[in-house]
Every structure is written in structure tokens, then in C-alpha cells.
Structure 1
């Protein structure tokens, strides 16, 4: 009898945990469990079950990582957390990696201001402390604090500037009525069949709009080389690595779950724990990696070292 009771309790605990992670509020979890069992668990009971993840999360944060990753995506986002009875925006920085075998995983995340270089350095130091030695290509926006930290800790890595963020920046200098046509031409620069064709398209774009939209063109020229780095990598990877959509989708999934709770997090720990709880249940698509004999020099180097 006791064995059956414990088994059922474990099953209910697991069900409550899964519902909470998927965005069901504590009150709604209680109502569902009451409908199924006739017993109404308190909010504190649901919270206790959820926080059994804490030990697992601590182990996950300290797990060893691979020495080399083909690609890494870095970005930050914000969640609302209660500080001294007031809801405040709390930043979370995260890195998603793609191994040289194609597997994708969240390598690390932590609290930190996106504009604070030390916060990014702490994140990079954590990666290196857990075994990461090389990153083939970093994909990010133009955040200077992040870029400085990446350059300091992974000086040999190449860098890809998210082309969507760059396009948004360029178009912000163009009158709204003229943006639609310019956006199509601007996007075409990053969807050519080769780097040579991209260079030709860029030259034509600059010549056409240099005098019409000089500030927009100046914005495009800043960091332009980093926007075109992806052309030197396998063509089948271009869709994945020319933007930071990998990070954006991750943040979007966590926020989709958390927004259903319709309340701010009570503290940083609760926010970080939910972030972990969501990502542990996500299924990431594996990126098909070319054989070493067909890979570009950077990927060959990662395979061979």
C-alpha cells in the first residue's frame, strides 16, 4: 500500500512540475489536481515540488562542456522580478552552442546587464572553466560589452554580426515611406549564392544609395565585414548562422511559458529556475555537419585539433 502511495505521489509531483513549467499558474495546477484526485494541493505544495529542480539545476550549471564548438550564439533578454516590493527588469545573458558533431545545447546563462562587460566576461570565464577552449564562430548583435568579452576570452574565433539586427539599424536611418523597397535590396545582400556575388551586390547598393541615404549607408559599412562572415562557412549552415534567431527563439519560448503565469517572479532564483526548467524540456534540432574533408578550413581545424 505504501509503495503504491509513493509511486502515485511521485507521479502527481511530476505532473504538477510539468504543468507549472508549461506555464500553468500555481492556482490552476491546484484546480487540475483537485479534479483528478479530490485533493487540493496548496500553492506552497506546488512551489515545493517545482523547487525540487534546484539540485538538478545546480548540477547542470557545473557540468563539463566540450572543448570545441563549431558555433556559439550570445544574447541577452529581460524578465520582470520583484525587488523590494517593486517589479524590475532583470537581465539574463545566455550562450547557445552547436558542437562540431551538430548537437545544439544551452551552454550557460546567468544574471547580468547586457551593457556590462564584466558580466559577459564572467559568463565567458564560466565556459572556459568548464572546459571550452575553442569556438569556431560567434553569432551576436553589435553589443560592444559582449564583443569585448568574446575577443578577450576567445581571440581566435570568427564573428558573425546578426544581419537582422544590422538591417534594423540601417533602416532606422531611412524615412518610413521609403523603407519597404530599400529593405528588399538590403536583405538581398545577405542572400546571395556566394561571397563574390555578395560583394558585387554590396558595391552596387553603396553606389546607388550613398548620396540618397548617406547616414544609412555609413551604418551599413560599420561592421559590414562581420555581417558577411557566414559566406565562408558551409552553405547548408547559412540559414542558421547569419542571424541570432537561435537565441531569440530560445528566449521567446521561455517568455511564452512565463507570461502565462501573469505575475512577476518573486526573486532571481525563481526566474533562473524556470529558465532552466523550460530549456531542459526543449528539443533542439541537430545541425548536419559536413565531413571533415568537405568542411571549410575553420571547421576542419575544429575537427582536427
Structure 2
């Protein structure tokens, strides 16, 4: 990339500033710039007034308007280098409305975008206020931070109710818990997240929902909602095993293939295994759900049961859910690699935790604002990128007898 050319007058201007102010530190240079801002603003405002009246300040000739200049009003504005006192020109009939700094505007620092950016990164209102004061030299109240971040609420509401794609090849559901402060007590709230992979291979967070607990009834309400927002078909739904979720999802999307997450099954089973055997136990399990064929999977499971017979509780977890392991082998290896775990949505929750670890939120909107801002950052990263190995996933979908017709319906 070519280096941008510097304005040839900038060096001359810099030398004049240095000669005038003789700065000896970065702070001295910032103060010099701050000192210059006032006259710059005033000069530009005077230019606006000349244009508004149609004549220069010292013009002695005949004028087309009866309106005249009427002195100056004082105003303190907030800039990126701190507060600056300026004089704003006035006219007699009060018809002059400054465009550079409109009436009642006192902040020209673009602080709103900075506050929202800090809020999106999980900074508390107290930390944001302190940071703004340290850097810019003026204070921002907690109420102002809240008012600024409330600007995202209409966009959040629009995003939460937007129409969705007709078909999602894969959907991953999961909950995480965070804390909301309700008057004098704090409560844990479940954040419901749905991540979808479209038929074109794009990632999309379908929405965020809050509830005091995770339950199949809430999940059914959510599935009902996304259907009302345009979702007609879901091929695969990967979940962590919430009781009743499998039946509930099929009540809304009858043809969905529900897959238990292998990683969650591992977590459930290692509860019955001493820590000294974790590594060997999980290595043996990987040979089961990661086998190249169903025959190899069944053989590996038989060996697994014999090897770890002493830990019957762990074996029972896999015996009760083994139909979910067998189901994986109804599909090609590329499809299996996508559907066998909910890690994709858990990764999103890991990102959410980075911005919710600051403590309890004062209300639901405060929590949803910070989560939505993080979603926007994630979606920006995903733009233009497809799921890894998506071409092979689609080839295997189109080779599967029960999925081909459904897939072609949405590819046309």
C-alpha cells in the first residue's frame, strides 16, 4: 500500500506551533493543540455567520438584510483533547443556527462511539466514566453512559424480530448463565443462544433470549418464534441434552435430526472416573465416536465397556445415549464433524463471558445491549467467510436419500 502523502504545509504549521508554545512533553503538545482548537472553532463559526448574513464583518457597503451581528455567547465544548471555551457569534433576530456546533450541542469529541465501543468490550459504567475523564479531561456520568448505550436498543429490537432464512442445515443450541441485579438481590439468568449454519454455509446467530432457568418449555417458545420469523426447515439440531428438548424441537420441526453433543456426554461420564484415569478414559472414548465406520465404532465400544467395567456409572451414560453415537454414522464424515458437538455455540458463549464477567447487570436491557454489541462484532468477523469444508458437507447432504430433496428445495 502506498504511503499517504503529507500535506506540504503541515511541517511549516508544526514548526510555528512549536516556536510559539515550545512544548517539552506530549502533554505540552496536547495543551497547545487544545489552545488552538478554540480560535479554529471561532473562525469557522464566524465564516458561517458571514454566509448566513450575506456580508463580511467589516463590510461597509449596502446590505440585503436588516439582520445584524449581535455580539457573542460563551460556550464550553468537549473535544477529544478536553474542554475548550469558545465564543459563538449571535445575530439580532436569532435566525442563525450554527452547523459546525449546533445549538445545545456541547460534545464534539465523537464520544458516543467511544463509549459504545468500551461498553461492547465489557467495561462497567464506572470504568468507562473514569477512562473518559483520564483521557479526555471531562467527566461522563453513569446516566450519560446508559443514555448513550441505549442508542443500540432500537437496532437490537429490530435484530431480534428480523426475518430469518427459510432453511438452516445445522442449528446449535445452548444456554449460559449470568447475573442480573433486581433491586437488592441478584439472580442468575439463563441466556439462550441459537447459532445456525445456512444452506449456503454462512454462520448466523438467530437470536438471544433471557429466562430465569433453562427449560424445554422456553426452548419450545423459542422454536415457535423462529418458525414464525420464517424458518421452515432445520436438518440437524445439536444440543447438550436438556430434558424434553428433543421431543419439543420435533413438535415444531417434525423432520429435524436431533444430535446429542459428544463433548457433553464426555463431561457427564467423567464425573464417575478418577482424575488419574481421565486421559486414558477420554482417549478410549474418542476411538468410539471418532471411528471411521459404524462397524469400527461398535467394536471400539465393546472394547471400551470391557476396559472400563470398573466405572459402571460412566459406561451407563454412554449406553443410555449410544443411539446418538450410532446415528452419526448415518451420514458422511464431513457432516459428522459438524453435527457431533455444540462447540460452535459454546465458543460464542465463551466470547460472551469475556464481556459479562464484570459483575451483575442492573436490568435485562443492560445485559442484552452488551451481548448484542458482541454479536455485531462476531458477525463482522464472519462476513464473507464460509464454514470450513462446506463444499464437502453439501456434497454429502446431496448424496443422502432423506436430505437431498429437502436441500434442493432451498438451493434452487
Give the TM-score taking structure 2 as reference length: 0.67
CA distance in 2, matches of 1:4, 1:294: 60
Q: Aligned residue for 1:23?
A: 122
Q: Aligned residue for 1:179?
A: 278
Cα deviation per residue 1:236-266 (whole Å; 9 max; x = unaligned)?
354443211112111111111121xx33100
Q: Aligned residue for 1:286?
A: 386
Q: Equivalences for 1:1-305 in 2 at 5 Å? A: 2-5=98-101, 9=108, 11-209=110-308, 211-259=309-357, 262-282=358-378, 283-284=381-382, 286-287=386-387, 288-290=389-391, 293-295=395-397, 296-297=399-400, 299-305=403-409
Cα deviation per residue 1:187-224 (whole Å; 9 max; x = unaligned)?
22122233332233223323444x43333222211122
Q: 1:9 Cα shift?
A: 4.3
Check 1:148–1:114 CA distance in 2 against 1; reply closer, same or farther (3 A cut). Answer: farther
Q: Secondary structure at the match of 1:290?
A: helix
Q: 1:4 Cα shift?
A: 4.2
Give 5+ residue unaligned stretches, structure 2.
1-44, 46-97
Q: Secondary structure at the match of 2:305?
A: helix
CA distance in 2, matches of 1:294, 1:139: 18
Q: 1:302 Cα shift?
A: 3.6
Are the equivalent residues in 2 in contact too, given 1:109–1:123 (CA < 8 A)?
A: no
Cα deviation per residue 1:96-118 (whole Å; 9 max; x = unaligned)?
10101111111022112554222
Check 1:266–1:199 CA distance in 2 against 1; reply closer, same or farther (3 A cut). Answer: same
What count of residue pairs does the alignment treat as equivalent?
302
Q: Over aligned residues, Cα RMSD in angstroms?
A: 2.4
Give 5+ residue unaligned stretches, structure 1.
none
Are the equivalent residues in 2 in contact too, given 1:117–1:145 (CA < 8 A)?
A: yes
Give the TM-score taking structure 1 as reference length: 0.89
| Range 138-147 or range 228-237, more displaced | 228-237
CA distance in 2, matches of 1:161, 1:51: 38
Are the equivalent residues in 2 in contact too, given 1:139–1:244 (CA < 8 A)?
A: yes
Q: Secondary structure at the match of 2:139?
A: coil
Are the equivalent residues in 1 in contact too, given 2:188–2:212 (CA < 8 A)?
A: no
Q: Secondary structure at the match of 1:45?
A: helix
Select the structure with the greater relative contact order (CA < 8 A; seq sep ≥ 6). Answer: 1
Q: 1:160 Cα shift?
A: 1.6
Are the equivalent residues in 1 in contact too, given 2:329–2:336 (CA < 8 A)?
A: yes
Greater Rg, structure 1 or structure 2?
A: 2
Cα deviation per residue 1:77-132 (whole Å; 9 max; x = unaligned)?
11100123111101121111010111111102211255422211111111100011
Are the equivalent residues in 1 in contact too, given 2:195–2:205 (CA < 8 A)?
A: yes
Q: Secondary structure at the match of 1:75?
A: strand
Check 1:233–1:116 CA distance in 2 against 1; reply closer, same or farther (3 A cut). Answer: same
Are the equivalent residues in 1 in contact too, given 2:172–2:195 (CA < 8 A)?
A: yes
